[in-house]
Structure 1
Amino acid sequence: MSNERYINRELSWLEFNQRVLDQARSNSLPLLERVKFLAITASNLDEFFMVRVGGLQLLSRKNVLRPDFAGMTADEQLGAIRDRVREMLRDQYDCYNTMLEPSLSSHGIRRLHANDIAPHQLKVIEERFEDELASILTPIAVWPNEEVPMLPDPDLCLCVRLRCVPDSEEPFRYALIPLGRRLPRFLTVPSESGYEYMLLEDVVASFANRFFPEEQVLEVVPFRMTRNADLTVSDDVANDFMAEMEHLLQARKESHCVRLEIDARATASVQAFLTNAYQVAPADVYALQGPLGLGQFMALASVKGFDNLVDEPWETSQPLDIEPGVDMFEQISQRDILILHPYESFDPVVQLVEEAANDPDVLSIKQTLYRTSSNSPIVNALMKAALSGKYVTAVVELKARFDEARNIEWARQLERVGVQVIYGVRGLKTHAKICVIVRQESQGIRRYVHFGTGNYNEKTSRLYSDVSFMTTDVDLTDDAVAFFNAITAYSQPQPFHKIESAPSGLKDRLLDMIDVEIDQANHGHRAFINAKVNSLVDQEIIDAMYRASAAGVTVRLNIRGICCLRPGIPGLSENITVTSIIDRYLEHARVVHFHHGGDDRIFISSADWMPRNLDRRIELLVPVDHDPCRQRLISILETYFRDNVQATRLESDGSYVPVHDDGEPFRAQKYFSDAIHNEAKKRRDEQLTTFEPHRSPI
């Protein structure tokens, strides 16, 4: 089991997902928001099994006995994961069955079954089945001990058990009905009030006999099969990297089954048939006491007409550092700009790239693309810039997991219009968020840079809490150009003036900064480290934090998800506290503050503190030296550490407890929303005629 110094990575992630699930179980949230959080936990588990559990199962199959740094072998981790997941599934379905579905029904959102709907409703459903579903769905006959067809995962399917004709060698036969992803999971039923629906699988099961005339349907069982997605492309040897990525996507569809979810009402016969058909170990079969695929219930959380069951919207404001209607180049040339998303709009980032595409004085645009939206205005702007004759370079990361297909399509479209597309660095994912615009101005060439902690995705920017930083600082823009040249030329980066990149120097810079704090503490001076990241897994960073704690450095960490560090252990980590905030927006920004003998050093970063980020990805660590921006980031960090409503504290045993103190309730995300909205409203009301750089209220 996990040792006394470190918490196992996978078990820590499961505790994060439990904290998300706790939001679904909380009566303090509106009902449909709770449904949303429940759906998120189910989607999270899907990806966890596809990636993390799939990888561990491969290690187990290869009989790899080497433990992780927390002291657990692959088999030990798999056993602990199964136990913890089954406990979490009990909580999930208890939440759905005893809390959410009854409450939804009482508020007019009612799930119906075939045996409790009115005749006129049944007629509508029957017509829907005959006119649409029966034509689209395709039953597939499957015989015991024969190869089963390849099915998309983790999509919902039905297993139908049929009685065989007399004198048959087998007492019954089976058929599978894949329900796919295009059909709606929630089929609306006519209702005099509220919203009534049937689940797709219930409708198809009710009329399954029509697929098999003159045969006896004995059982119809929903199931989901999850395949391993922890596959990698050998980009060191691939001549055609695009083709290799497409091969990887196909390989995922054919990889081994890591999990079989099945309706708990299934008979032993059906469960045995599916377990054997997909070669699943009994320990990896999960019988569920309710609807499968709860991740799809995100659609139910968006049902119209129930505004009283959702959160009151928080308005996204015009960024306080930006004057509406004024050219972005003019504004960035006057001062550095810091934006806190989603409280402040992502629009200026899009506007900057669009203005660059249209501006005849812009010579070139260089940008990284990791995850983008389906109809990305930024990608469209890059294509427009290329068509107008500008030099445009896009570093498109084809290995962005589960976005590979979209990125492949974007890469092809960009190449068609003349964009120089780079597929990153062999063996590394390009995860850095950076855009460099080179412009010819009267004084000469000037470079404008955007650094971010989040993706260039205007849709997720409304859901994720991130930081944007725009600057024309000479050292930072020099570094940005050198960074791109190193990626596109596959060359070793020259020493940077200010930034650091992974995997070459980012971790060393962090360790050096920690050592400065240790040295300050050893000399009796004030020393502290405040950091906000999404995950802390890297053993070297953890050990450095332990050394800092032992020296007397005060370490405060706000870590949303995985944390393998054990805080509060006497002699090891008594000066370290770790909190996590789960709230309306997904906390995604990475910000770190070192006291540095009173000369505050503050950085934003694309990187979490994990080996994959620090050792196997292209990442950036960017210092923010412009004093107004630096002071605002310090204030933002301090605000997160004040949260005593949505924050939980990590205990040394790996559990989390609510943060309680004697002060007034304080919710960081609500504070950001109110403070920025009120300041923006004040500025509008005052109808300022001149613009002055903002001094943030936070």
Structure 2
Amino acid sequence: MGQADFLEADFPAPAELPDEAIAGPGRFLNRELSWLAFNWRVLEEASNPRVPLLERVRFLSISATNLDEFYTVRVAGLRELARAGNTTPASDGLTPAEQLVLIDCEARRLMGAQQSTWNELRAAMEEEGIQILTRDTIGKSDRKALEAVFMAQVFPILSPLAIDPAHPFPFIPSEGFALALQMERKTDGRPLRALLPIPHQINRFLRLPAVGDAIRFLPLEELLLMHIGSLFPGYKLTGSCAFRVLRDSDMEVEDEAEDLVREFEVALKRRRRGEVIRLKLSTGAPGPLRKLVMDNLHITANEVVEIEGLIGVGALRELVLDERPALLWPSFTPRVPERVQDHEGDMFAAIRQKDMLLHHPYETFDMVVRFLEQAARDPDVVAIRQTLYRTSNESPIVAALCDAAESGKSVTALVELKARFDEAANIRQSRRLERAGAHVVYGFINYKTHAKISVVVRREGDQLVTYTHFGTGNYHPITARIYTDLSLFTCDPKLGRDATRVFNYVGGYAQPDVLENLAISPLSLKSSLLEQIEAEIEHAANGKPAEIWAKMNAIIDPDMIDALYAASQAGVRISLVVRGICGLRPGIKGLSENIRVKSIVGRFLEHSRIICFGNGHGLPAKKAKVYISSADMMERNLLHRVETLVEITNPTVKAQIMNQIMAANLADEAQSWVMDGFGQFTRRTPEEGEHLFSCHRFFTENPSLSGRGSAGASDVPALTHSRD
């Protein structure tokens, strides 16, 4: 497959916008609506017949969890601005209040589609012998079994609460789920209103004894409603509704906090008690119960979403059953790079031979863990430096750092406390590291440290050799199984010195006076990218091939978008793979007719960031400039975080990125959505019997170029061949 096969066909005929839109804010698409469009693509996978059934259930769950987070962070922030009277427009010209109106309309439509999708999936699961029952559809034998389950496993941790002047309405935390109950005393008909918070420690779906081959579940709220008599003896139920709360989860930290860890602990408690942003409530809730809930949560009618169906769609992840492999993605085992095997697992020997780029999850993230575990055990290693943005609760990387510190090595861990929703976990990890004797630093108060760097300094003869790992993803072994990310291992002295300068900058606030092969934000990353885009414009003006490929999670920074528009108008061919938010309008006549944008949504979450510039030779080319990064093209990444942009100089690694990774992403049809200039996405539906090319399948079946060992890389498939 040549480059024309997957590039030319995807540049559609240019669309037109009015001149005033091209010159004004209309040249940008709204960030929030673009994110909602991404979540629509996630939800569409739940209806995709080419996706295994239980994986479709997982996509539905993810779309609901995504939307919850969007509300607790983005919508919460916009609402705060609107309430403060802020009318400053976003880059697309919409004020916070205008955005909230559009978001509410689109989000309600999305939530309705989630319920429709769940109804379809529930019917399909029934056909596969997975049943979701209700209290009206279970038999006597099940009721008896459930009685025992309720009393033994549920009843002890419930807290039924009467609501009256002596019993005030309780606090319901963010993502809290509860039943509001309307009852009468059997003896005299005296009314009682009550609340039954549903503990998150209990599974939302209770598994019933099997009947034949059928797998059967009962939602927890159904079980509770069956046993109201045990919770409120002497009362009968006359009405009920379920509701779920989302609260503002953004955090504020005092700039001059003397103890940053303690300040974050306080902020986490404030987050738990944030204002209610959205209330989901059962359709048909009795009027008095509806008023009771709304009044006590201090919300208005426009913050209520009535749900006819399942409240808390994210909980459907519990129904993705490992015991039904035929309804899941085919299993695959991540590869161990052949070069590491050739060196009998010795990461340092493999890296000394040549730079190595691993493509996760296709190549196992265990190599990153092994790199640090080997460093912790190696008596010749004298120092380790490590950034930690997100990692798992029982992190093997933190364990390795603790082992290294306890054995007397110099260990510095740069822990980012501001990693959203991982703040509490990172506080625990930092204290564990400090107890082991590691030096823990927290970086800047105003900037998140989002860069992914490991540095290992090893004594070899009379020299100190620096081994460096740069990643595009987090040091998180769990998410590394489903996120596509890149890991560069190198002992290039320039990159080793640059990485050390970054640690010194974050730990000591001293800006590096020089960086040799690295650009970092907030200092030089954005300007470096803009310079490279300008260089491509110059190549086009001089009649040379001019081309840009980029793969990002988001492109929203106005300066970067305007630079890409200028490049398109100069004749630079630009192909972008943008998983999520895209504020750029591709294919607009006079603005961006040389830009195409696609989004890949499939089995794995596209997370790696890659930027390739033809450098006067087009793409792919041996003399192209190739970079990997921890940053997206967003203002927060470019100006308000510490991020890395790493130039790739090793020829094999460059070829791997261009000829394999980017080529396969650009060639993908099976999981690709092509974006038009109005923010709409379409994907190709295969004809009967047609097999569309899938980059995810290609990567699971073919090893990476730079990880090859003694067998060499010549027999590794590449989708393109580099120009001279």
Is this contact kept in 1: 2:251–2:268, CA < 8 A?
no
Secondary structure of the 1:357 match is helix
CA distance in 2, matches of 1:345, 1:47: 29
Aligned residues: 686
CA distance in 2, matches of 1:547, 1:177: 59
1:646 aligns with 2:671: yes
Q: Deviations over 1:493-538 (max 9, x none)?
A: 2220110111111000000000000111122211011000000111
Instruction: After superposing the two structures, state which structure 1 stretch, 479-488 or 382-391, moved more.
Output: 479-488
Matching residue within 643, 660, 673 for 2:700: 673
Is this contact kept in 2: 1:439–1:447, CA < 8 A?
yes
Is this contact kept in 1: 2:652–2:706, CA < 8 A?
no
1:113 aligns with 2:113: no
Secondary structure of the 2:332 match is coil
Cα displacement (A) at 1:365: 0.1
Matching residue within 226, 234, 237 for 2:246: 226
CA distance in 2, matches of 1:145, 1:695: 77
Instruction: After superposing the two structures, state which structure 1 stretch, 156-165 or 362-371, moved more.
Output: 156-165
Cα displacement (A) at 1:28: 1.7
Specify the code of the residue in structure 1 equivalent to 2:218: M
Mapping for residues 143-222 of structure 1, pairs under 5 Å? 143=164, 148-163=169-184, 172-193=191-212, 194-222=214-242
Mapping for residues 294-693 of structure 1, pairs under 5 Å? 294-301=313-320, 303-323=321-341, 325-598=344-617, 599-635=623-659, 636-659=661-684, 665-676=692-703, 690=710, 692=712
Aligned to 1:61: 83
Is this contact kept in 2: 1:605–1:619, CA < 8 A?
yes
CA distance in 2, matches of 1:320, 1:527: 36
Is this contact kept in 2: 1:321–1:338, CA < 8 A?
no
Is this contact kept in 1: 2:548–2:574, CA < 8 A?
yes
CA distance in 1, matches of 2:186, 2:590: 74
Cα displacement (A) at 1:189: 1.1
1:139 aligns with 2:166: no
Hey, which bits of structure 1, 4+ residues long, moved more than 6 A?
A: 164-168, 660-664, 677-680
Q: Deviations over 1:551-579 (max 9, x none)?
A: 11111100000000011110011111000
Specify the code of the residue in structure 1 equivalent to 2:331: P
CA distance in 1, matches of 2:245, 2:461: 62
CA distance in 2, matches of 1:3, 1:81: 19
Matching residue within 259, 268, 277 for 1:249: 268
Cα displacement (A) at 1:398: 0.8
**Cα 1:581–1:320, aligned 2, differ >3 Å: closer, same or farther?**
farther
Secondary structure of the 1:233 match is coil
Gaps of at least 5 residues in structure 1 are none
Is this contact kept in 2: 1:321–1:339, CA < 8 A?
no
CA distance in 1, matches of 2:699, 2:711: 22
CA distance in 1, matches of 2:491, 2:554: 31
CA distance in 1, matches of 2:275, 2:316: 27
Matching residue within 72, 76, 95 for 2:117: 95
Specify the code of the residue in structure 2 equivalent to 1:373: S
CA distance in 1, matches of 2:350, 2:449: 29
Is this contact kept in 2: 1:454–1:588, CA < 8 A?
yes
Secondary structure of the 2:677 match is coil
CA distance in 2, matches of 1:594, 1:110: 53
**Cα 1:677–1:488, aligned 2, differ >3 Å: closer, same or farther?**
closer
CA distance in 1, matches of 2:168, 2:557: 43
Task: Give the RMSD, CA atoms, in angstroms.
Answer: 2.2
Cα displacement (A) at 1:264: 1.5
Aligned to 2:46: 24
Q: Deviations over 1:424-450 (max 9, x none)?
A: 212110100000000111141100000
Matching residue within 287, 300, 303 for 1:268: 287
Q: More relative contact order in 1 or in 2 (CA 8 Å, sep 6+)? A: 2
Cα displacement (A) at 1:337: 0.5
**Cα 1:645–1:200, aligned 2, differ >3 Å: closer, same or farther?**
same
Aligned to 1:44: 66
Specify the code of the residue in structure 2 equivalent to 1:287: E
CA distance in 2, matches of 1:526, 1:677: 28
CA distance in 2, matches of 1:277, 1:393: 48
Is this contact kept in 2: 1:320–1:344, CA < 8 A?
no
Is this contact kept in 1: 2:204–2:219, CA < 8 A?
yes
Secondary structure of the 2:242 match is strand
1:104 aligns with 2:131: no
Is this contact kept in 2: 1:593–1:602, CA < 8 A?
yes
Cα displacement (A) at 1:136: 0.9
CA distance in 2, matches of 1:333, 1:177: 61
Is this contact kept in 1: 2:61–2:313, CA < 8 A?
yes
Cα displacement (A) at 1:488: 0.9
TM-score if structure 2 supplies the norm length? 0.91
Is this contact kept in 2: 1:144–1:277, CA < 8 A?
no
Cα displacement (A) at 1:117: 1.1
**Cα 1:80–1:172, aligned 2, differ >3 Å: closer, same or farther?**
farther
Specify the code of the residue in structure 2 equivalent to 1:602: V
Instruction: After superposing the two structures, state which structure 1 stretch, 269-278 or 478-487, moved more.
Output: 269-278
Aligned to 2:312: 293
Is this contact kept in 1: 2:187–2:234, CA < 8 A?
no
Aligned to 2:12: none
Cα displacement (A) at 1:265: 3.3
Is this contact kept in 2: 1:158–1:220, CA < 8 A?
yes
CA distance in 2, matches of 1:135, 1:477: 57
Cα displacement (A) at 1:343: 0.7
Cα displacement (A) at 1:269: 2.5
CA distance in 2, matches of 1:624, 1:67: 39
Secondary structure of the 2:147 match is helix
Is this contact kept in 1: 2:705–2:716, CA < 8 A?
no
Cα displacement (A) at 1:268: 2.7
Q: Deviations over 1:269-291 (max 9, x none)?
A: 32222111111121111111211
Seq. identity, %: 39
1:130 aligns with 2:151: yes
Gaps of at least 5 residues in structure 2 are 1-20, 618-622, 719-724
**Cα 1:310–1:5, aligned 2, differ >3 Å: closer, same or farther?**
same
Secondary structure of the 1:592 match is strand
Is this contact kept in 2: 1:263–1:292, CA < 8 A?
yes
CA distance in 2, matches of 1:490, 1:67: 34
